[in-house]
Amino acid sequence: MPKFYQELLALAQSDAAAIQIVSHEWERVRGFVAGLSRDLDIPARVWSLSRGVADLDEEAQVGQPDPSQSDPQEVLKSHCEDKKPAILLMEDAHHFYLASDRRHEVARWLRETARLRGSPRKLLILSGPVPGLPPETVKEIPALDVPLPDQEDLKEVCLSVAQEQAVECDPVEPLLEAARGLTVMEARLAFARAAHEKGRLGPEAIPLVAQEKSRVIKQSGVLEYFEPNATMRDVGGLDNLKAWLDRRGRGFGHGAREHGLEPPRGIVLLGIQGCGKSLIAKSVAAAWQFPLLRFDLGRVFGGVVGQSEGNMRLALQVAEALAPCVLWIDEIEKGLSGMGSSDQLDAGVSARVGGTLLTWMQEKTAPVFTVATANRIEALPPELLRKGRFDEIFFVDLPTADARKEILSIHLSKKKRTPKDFELDRLAQESLGFSGAELEEAVREALFESFAEGKEVTTEHIARAIKATYPLSRTMRDQITQLREWSLARARRASSQEPEPLPQDTGGPVPILRQEQRNPFVPRTSAAGTEDRGERRK
């Protein structure tokens, strides 16, 4: 018996008169309700706005609907007043009790229903994808989340699809694993598509199912499923952080639990733009061979009432279903301070959604390793940094000379050049204050230049590209100094080397960044047209 169903049955047997089940999976919920009907020996009916009320048999098949019973308030009233025992499943009634102009009446009837006790035995199940109940019923109606299907459930789905499509089935573990994180209905579609294309459901179907999963997860709008394409060898510098990850990664390995180790929970990477925070998130997933999920917190907010909370819970459920995995939350400060979308929001929603995330981080038992990145400390809520949510906070500073050498040689090797052919010491000296991203860009620029000259790229080309770049660390001196000071007492350094002093700002001309350049198609007056095109005085 599935664990979720056991929990539901126990609640139903303990006399609850109303239960809410939050799930997108109406088919599974109907299955559970049919199970309750059998185990409690009480007939079940299902209501939806489109069809009215209909009987639900023990195989979860729906009988002839009675469209005259479509008004939710009337349906609740007759459920309360009827003299016979009954289970009533109401699908998508949240439209009425959360946000309609009739929510007060419907909420009142929900309350009446939740208080029914004794005989005749009555049970109301509210089901729908959106969490939330009217405040007056929160204490009276227990809410349950249906976890996404596990491997056993997925095996059932796979076998039943194979039977329907009359194809051979070999439900090997990697195939079921590829479908983890999908709902039953999504998994059914993915298996059906693979069965149709391959004529068989076995190892050959894995890439198709994995592809379908990545599409479905992306469609949720909040999570993105990544094939990690970077390794630790692609990361220059950051030796402390890499060593920590290597040591802690063993906490997921065989024998770790028996040794008394807890699986690591996650890290916060705080730091300067372009210094490898996102790169680390990708490479840690590859190093541990975990799937990588990118969580866009900013996109959690929106839609109808309750949807933001629903999005957040769904995302966390998917992450748990995919565990062990790496959950990468970029710019966590934006999501948690409700920035970017707070105009249309009441503060309550962002607080609740942020609270759900923080509680989950504290309480999660599934091995989900969270990598949260942040650039701005002042926007970080202090409770995020409290111990217990993350294992460690790392400060990712600008690379030192040694790290710059390493980063240059990584990017030269990626372009199939031999790093030994270049004067890396000199280039590292000349690029003081450069971020990894700026060094990568200098290599790219040098390749363009040398190609235009019809020559092979040399140290000179890179040196010129470095000279022509105005690194962010010159314009952001104050912010970087502040960030360094702040993190001194609060975070661990990602690199074992002392940070170098920031480059002196010489007060010379500030080159115009590419994104600041003028659009040449905008008509200008002659005065404006005579301005310098390439440079701007400070």
Ligand X SMILES: Nc1ncnc2c1ncn2[C@@H]1O[C@H](COP(=O)(O)OP(=O)(O)OP(=O)(O)O)[C@@H](O)[C@H]1O
Written as one letter, the residue type at 249 is: G
Q: Which of 72, 131, 237, 264 contacts ligand X by CB under 6 A?
A: 237
Q: Give the Cβ contact number of residue 488 at 10 Å.
A: 10
Minimum distance of ligand X from residue 218's CB (angstroms): 20
437 binding partner (options Mg ion, ligand X, none; Cβ < 5 to 8 Å by kind): ligand X
Q: In whole angstroms, how close is the CB of 441 to ligand X at the nearest point?
A: 8
Q: Would you call 270 exposed, middle or buried from its count of C-beta atoms within 10 A (0-12, 13-18, 19+)?
A: buried
Taking the complex as a whole, the smallest distance from the CB of residue 235 to ligand X amounts, in Å, to 5
Closest CB to ligand X among residues 279, 321: 279
How many residues in the shown chain lie near ligand X by CB under 6 A? 20
Stretch of 9-17, 210-218, 234-242, 342-350 contacting ligand X, by CB under 6 A:
234-242
Q: Which is nearer to Mg ion, 30 or 277 (CB)?
A: 277
Report CA Rg, the chain.
Answer: 29
**Which of the listed partners (ligand X, Mg ion, none) does 134 bind, with a CB threshold of 5 to 8 Å by partner kind?**
none
3-state SS, residue 375: coil
In terms of CB distance, is 242 or 389 closer to ligand X? Answer: 242
Quick one: which segment of 49-57, 99-107, 200-208, 233-241 binds ligand X (CB under 6 A)? Answer: 233-241
Residue 206 and residue 510: Cα distance in Å, rounded? Answer: 53
- Residue 278 lies near Mg ion (rule: CB under 5 A): yes
Chosen residue from 194, 377, 407, 465 binding ligand X by CB under 6 A: 407
Closer by beta carbon to ligand X, 90 or else 275: 275
8 Å CB contact between 431 and 443: no
Quick check: 320 binds ligand X (CB under 6 A)? no
Residues present in the chain in total: 538
**C-alpha–C-alpha distance, residues 431 and 346, integer Å:** 46
> Using the rule CB under 6 A, is 440 a contact of ligand X?
yes
81 CB contacts (<8 Å, ≥6 apart)? none
Total residues in contact with Mg ion, by rule CB under 5 A: 2
Binding characters for ligand X, 270-309, by CB under 6 A (x = yes): ---xxxxxxx------------------------------
Kindly tell me which of 277 and 404 has the beta carbon lying closer to Mg ion.
277
Residue 407 interacting partner from ligand X, Mg ion, none (CB closer than 5 to 8 Å by kind):
ligand X
CB of 25 or CB of 234, closer to ligand X: 234
* Cα distances (Å, whole numbers) of residue 180 to 38, 112, 187, 236: 29, 40, 8, 34
266 vs 276, beta carbon nearer ligand X = 276
Whole-number Å distance between alpha carbons of 196 and 165: 8
Side chain identity at residue 504, one-letter code: Q
In the complex with Mg ion, the residue whose CB is nearer, 73 or 273, is 273
Residue indicated by tokens 């789905």 = 157
What six digits make up the tokens of 531? 């301005």
| Mask for 359-378, x = binds ligand X (CB under 6 A) | --------------x-x---
**Judged by CB under 6 A, does residue 335 bind ligand X?**
no
Q: 486 vs 139, 270, 481, CA distance in Å?
A: 43, 11, 9
- Residue 332 and residue 354: Cα distance in Å, rounded? 10
Q: Per the structure block, which two tokens stand in for 326?
A: 């790496």
- Nearer Cβ to Mg ion (292/457): 292
CA–CA distances in Å: residue 494 to residues 241, 244, 260, 428, 434:
5, 9, 26, 19, 17
Phi then psi dihedrals of residue 346, to 5 deg: -85, 150
Q: At which residue do the structure tokens 């960044």 appear?
A: 513
**CA 315 – CA 254 distance, rounded (Å):** 28
Interacting span for Mg ion (CB under 5 A) from 94-102, 182-190, 274-282, 494-502: 274-282
Tell me which stretch binds ligand X (CB under 6 A): 200-208, 285-293, 318-326, 436-444.
436-444
Binding part of the chain for ligand X, among 312-320, 434-442, 450-458, 529-537 by CB under 6 A, reads: 434-442
Is 254 in contact with 369 (CB distance < 8 Å)?
no
| Pick 236 or 310: Cβ nearer ligand X | 236
Task: Report in angstroms how near the CB of residue 269 gets to Mg ion at its nearest.
Answer: 9
| Binding of ligand X by 235 (CB under 6 A) | yes
Name the minimum Å distance from CB 271 to ligand X. 6
List 55's β-bridge partners, or say none. Answer: 45
Tokens of 489: 């007492």
Smallest gap from Cβ 210 to ligand X, in A, equals: 24
Amino acid identity, residue 377? I
Nearest position to Mg ion, beta carbon: 278
DSSP annotation of 68 reads T
The token pair at 417 is 């050049």
Task: List interacting residues with ligand X (CB under 6 A).
Answer: 234-238, 273-279, 373, 375, 399, 407, 410, 436-437, 440
Q: Which residues bind Mg ion (CB under 5 A)?
A: 277-278
